[in-house]
């Protein structure tokens, strides 16, 4: 068995090397993407298999998010100290990347970057940010303050004017379309504002998707804000649509986005895996192990799990009741995503048949 890559983190100096070590860690763990997702869920983390795949893939070049690295390393079997070492390495690389970015900005303005000044033998006071000046200081009172005050003031003025321009345009446009402005004073700030499409769907990427994910989190739905509209994001959009009475398409259309912008957080069930297992022991005292394994296979013990099979039939909750079954029961997907209702209904079916033949467990990835 290959050694744990945590032991060689001190040699990592680039983001590419860090991502390579993460791939080595997955290989060391011996777990598949789905197994890591399951292990993370049992530990109380949110780590979809799609997020792991994107983090370890070659399409992205930036640093993974801190919470993603923490959940991933824990799922791989790292101890608390090893997870801390991964996070410290990530922090070190983030600081290095930020310093490099500042050097580029300084060079574009015609000034020496901090690293270059240090290499030329300049004293530390020239490379470090200037300290606040005390009144009456005869050595520096006449020089640095004016130059240091003008830049932030101008920057804040540009930022404020850009923000007011964006707000005005948003108010004028309502929800009809994206924001565009040609105000030359906004500079690079406004040029970075992207046009968000009328709807967001599978495999969309970028800040528009990240904003959608944060809006879903604001409604109480747990998911990473990684900027990728993958299967797990589609699943959470579907859950939100079911709760607010919209068609459960899994696509964030205009009606869905409007509903996300208004209203309060959803009254969602927040049952950790331990509580679900305890309730299953109560409901199935003689076969609680089989009931737990079945629910874990069907839904990863996630009360909000929804899955559309190959025939286009969508299923809901811990024991994955189909839309047709819910219709016959006079229930809705919201009922099915209530863990107490879901477990009680499973017990009724179990008592009627005498076993768990009603269910067939297959890999139920998020769709």
Domain boundary among 105, 127, 162: 105
pLDDT of residue 116: 41
Q: Tens digit of pLDDT per residue, the chain (367 long)? A: 567 888 779 889 999 899 899 999 999 988 999 989 888 887 777 889 889 988 998 777 788 988 899 899 999 999 988 998 999 899 899 888 877 777 766 666 665 554 444 444 444 443 444 444 444 444 444 444 444 555 545 554 544 555 454 444 444 444 444 433 344 444 433 333 347 888 999 999 999 999 999 999 999 999 999 999 999 999 999 999 999 999 999 999 999 999 999 888 898 988 999 999 999 999 999 999 999 999 999 999 999 999 888 788 899 999 999 999 999 999 999 999 999 999 999 999 999 999 999 998 865 555 5
Same domain? 256 vs 332: no
- Residue 112 falls inside a structural domain: no
Domain boundary among 105, 123, 143: 105
Q: Please tell me the total count of domains within the chain.
A: 3
Same domain? 10 vs 79: yes
Distance in angstroms (rounded) separating the CA atoms of residues 165 and 158: 10
pLDDT of residue 133: 43
Residue 85 is part of which domain span?
5-105
- Residue 153 falls inside a structural domain: no
Answer for the pair 25, 5: CB distance below 8 angstroms, yes or no.
Answer: yes
- Residue 277 falls inside a structural domain: yes
Answer for the pair 60, 219: CB distance below 8 angstroms, yes or no.
Answer: no
Looking up tokens 């130059």 gives: 147
- Residue 185 falls inside a structural domain: no
Same domain? 253 vs 310: no
β-pair partners for 315: 307, 322
Answer for the pair 318, 343: CB distance below 8 angstroms, yes or no.
Answer: yes
Same domain? 288 vs 347: yes
244: nearest Cα among 263, 221, 217, 218: 263
pLDDT of residue 363: 56
Alpha helices in 43-143 (DSSP H): 49-56, 66-76, 80-108, 114-119, 124-127
Question: Which tokens in the block code for residue 73?
Answer: 């390393």
pLDDT of residue 43: 78
pTM recorded for the entire structure:
0.53
pLDDT of residue 292: 96
Q: 3-state DSSP call for residue 153? A: helix
- Residue 77 falls inside a structural domain: yes
Phi, psi at 314, each rounded to 5°: -90, 140
- Residue 283 falls inside a structural domain: yes
Count Cβ atoms below 10 Å from residue 65 Cβ, excluding itself: 16
How far apart, in Å, are the Cα atoms of 58 and each of 17, 21, 23, 62, 249? 12, 13, 11, 10, 30
Count Cβ atoms below 10 Å from residue 138 Cβ, excluding itself: 6
- Residue 144 falls inside a structural domain: no
- Residue 346 falls inside a structural domain: yes
Domain boundary among 234, 261, 288: 261
Same domain? 278 vs 256: no
pLDDT of residue 311: 80
């Amino acid at each position: 068995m290959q050694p744990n890559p945590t032991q060689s983190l001190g040699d990592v100096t680039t983001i590419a090397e860090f991502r390579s070590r993460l791939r080595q860690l997955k290989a060391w763990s011996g777990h598949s993407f789905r197994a890591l997702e399951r292990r993370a869920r049992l530990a109380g983390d949110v780590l979809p298999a799609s997020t792991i795949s994107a983090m370890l893939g070659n399409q992205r070049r930036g640093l993974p998010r801190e919470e993603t690295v923490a959940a991933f390393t824990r799922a791989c079997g790292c101890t608390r100290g090893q997870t801390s070492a991964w996070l410290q390495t990530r922090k070190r690389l983030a600081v290095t990347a930020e310093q490099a970015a500042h050097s580029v900005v300084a060079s574009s303005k015609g000034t020496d970057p901090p690293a270059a000044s240090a290499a030329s033998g300049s004293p530390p006071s020239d490379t470090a940010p200037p300290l606040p000046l005390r009144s009456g200081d005869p050595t520096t009172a006449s020089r640095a303050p004016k130059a240091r005050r003008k830049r932030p003031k101008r920057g804040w003025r540009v930022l404020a004017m850009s923000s007011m321009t964006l707000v005005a345009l948003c108010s004028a446009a309502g929800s009809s379309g994206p924001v565009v402005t040609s105000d030359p004073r906004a500079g690079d700030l406004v040029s970075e504002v992207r046009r968000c499409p009328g709807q967001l769907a599978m495999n969309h990427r970028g800040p528009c998707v990240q904003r959608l994910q944060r809006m879903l989190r604001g409604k109480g739905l747990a998911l990473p804000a990684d900027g990728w509209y993958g299967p797990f994001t589609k699943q959470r959009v579907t859950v939100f649509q079911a709760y607010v009475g919209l068609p459960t398409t899994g696509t964030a259309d205009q009606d869905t986005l409007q509903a996300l912008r208004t209203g309060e957080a959803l009254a969602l069930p927040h049952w950790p895996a331990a509580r679900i297992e305890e309730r299953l022991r109560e409901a199935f005292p003689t076969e609680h192990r089989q009931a737990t394994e079945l629910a874990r296979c069907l839904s990863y013990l996630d009360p909000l799990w929804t899955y559309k099979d190959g025939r286009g039939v969508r299923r809901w909750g811990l024991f994955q009741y189909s839309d047709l079954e819910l219709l016959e029961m006079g229930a809705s997907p919201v009922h099915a995503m209530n863990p107490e209702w879901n477990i009680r209904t499973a017990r009724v079916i179990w008592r009627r048949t005498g076993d768990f033949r009603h269910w067939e467990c297959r890999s139920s990835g998020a769709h």
